[in-house]
Structure 1
Amino acid sequence: MPRIHLHELEDVDRDAAFSAARASRSAWRRAAFDDRPAFDAWTERPDVAAHAILEDDAVVGIAAAMDVEGEREILLAVSPDADVDAPTEALRLLTTQEAERPLYACVAATDAPSFDVLARLGFVEDRHDGDDVVLVLPPTLE
């Protein structure tokens, strides 16, 4: 397996991250951008912590956390050309960087692959929001 890692999204990553977000098979609606200016504006919001997903040294996607209606939510968009394990590893890394719990994710009810990736990391179904399912990574007891 190639080395999957995250780093804070930098200007040199933006073209590849935007392309990966547009090509992603993920139905995560918050990772859908109509154009590059909208993508750039979203990544520059103060509540968004955007990270480039790197496979070895190539940008293959974007992982982010943001505030949504008072809750911390994560999202991910990975190029279909990335290693099959890249989404799971990128999400694992993102959840370790985001200390706030509970941590949420919203996916289309028809997006079984994303649902499966989140479930492998401990996310459970919290509620339905129209055609989407909101999942939560609950706090752990220490």
Structure 2
Amino acid sequence: MKRLVLTACLLALACSAMADVDAREAALAAQLRCVVCQNQTIAESSAPLAADMRREIRTQLQAGRSDDEVLAFFEQRYGSFVRYAPPLRPSTWLLWGAPFALGLAGLAALAATLRHRRRAGPPQPLDDAQRERARRLLDDGGTP
């Protein structure tokens, strides 16, 4: 009876450890970019290289490596690009800052355009000569 209880406890412990490895593998696979597909994580990709990368993750986790060590391994092998969300460091400042800079530039252009329109005032109505020229252009199919 004791042997049966001990076996059950060991089996439960092994299942728990395997579930932990599975959860960590899934979390890491969701953080790494498929270098073949490039717009999918290796968890989503069905490319053979993505399957190899998932196997490598599992192998390293079973060998006792931490999540950071596994990520560092892939980053060393494939570069910072392999991380789906690259870490914030001097080499990736442009990557992280460009969307904000472009947004600010767009807002500045919008403000300048609105300021220019406000200064120009309301549009002036066409005089008779301009109205006649527009009518001729429309009737002739756009040739001046």
TM-score (norm 1): 0.23
Structure (1 or 2) with the greater strand fraction: 1
- Structure with higher Rg: it is 2
Q: Which has the higher contact order (CA 8 A, sep 6+)?
A: 1
TM-score (norm. length: structure 2): 0.23
